[in-house]
Amino acid sequence: MSNNLETRTLFDELRSFDKGGLFDFGHPLLNRVAESFVKAAGIGALQAVSREAYFTAVEGAGMDSGGTPEITAPKKHQRFPDLRGDTNTKSVEALVKNTGKESLQWGLAAGMYSGLTYGLKEARGTHDWKNSAVAGAITGMALALTSEDSSHEQMVQSAITGAAISTAANLLSGIF
């Protein structure tokens, strides 16, 4: 593989990602946080757009997405309330704005979790389920704060959920 930037191909660039990460900020913590943020933000964007496409298709077909009759179904909560703008331009602007917001939330959660697990590993000298539990709890609580109606109960529930999910994922990754 050539190191000359002028003769490197796209495949050479893609192969170089296996040796390192997407970023090199000079410190492993910064590299890890940035890489986790970018990857999760992309996933968040895809999830937001695909969810809206699903609800648009269900609404266009005249179906109820919940499977219950519309008479007894609870009031529908639309994830992107501004998406039904006066014009297509307003609808696209709302989609981009809301997709960006959700991407940012996903990216911040992943970057925060990744940075916390790395920092705890460095501080404690070991990587175990306890690091995952603490990082998951703090990340879950931070995510609860980003919601529109964050309450004490919601923050506690999100912290417990974050700790449980991250601990389970850590324990399962050791099994497989």
111, part of any domain: no
> Global pTM?
0.68
Selection from 49, 121, 126, 122 nearest residue 91 by Cα: 49
Among 20, 41, 59, where does a domain finish?
A: 59
23, part of any domain: yes
pLDDT tens digits, residue range 58-104? 887 777 655 544 444 444 445 555 555 556 677 788 888 889 988 99
102, part of any domain: no
160, part of any domain: yes
pLDDT tens digits, residue range 129-165? 999 999 999 999 998 988 877 889 999 999 999 999 9
66, part of any domain: no
- CB within 8 Å of 112: residues ≥ 6 apart: 33, 135, 138, 139, 142
Q: Residue 115: what are its φ and ψ, rounded to 5°?
A: -65, -40
Give the residue numbers spanning the domain of 157. 127-175
- Please state the domain count of the chain: 2
72, part of any domain: no
The confidence score (pLDDT) of residue 133 equals 94
pLDDT tens digits, residue range 103-124? 999 999 999 999 999 999 999 9
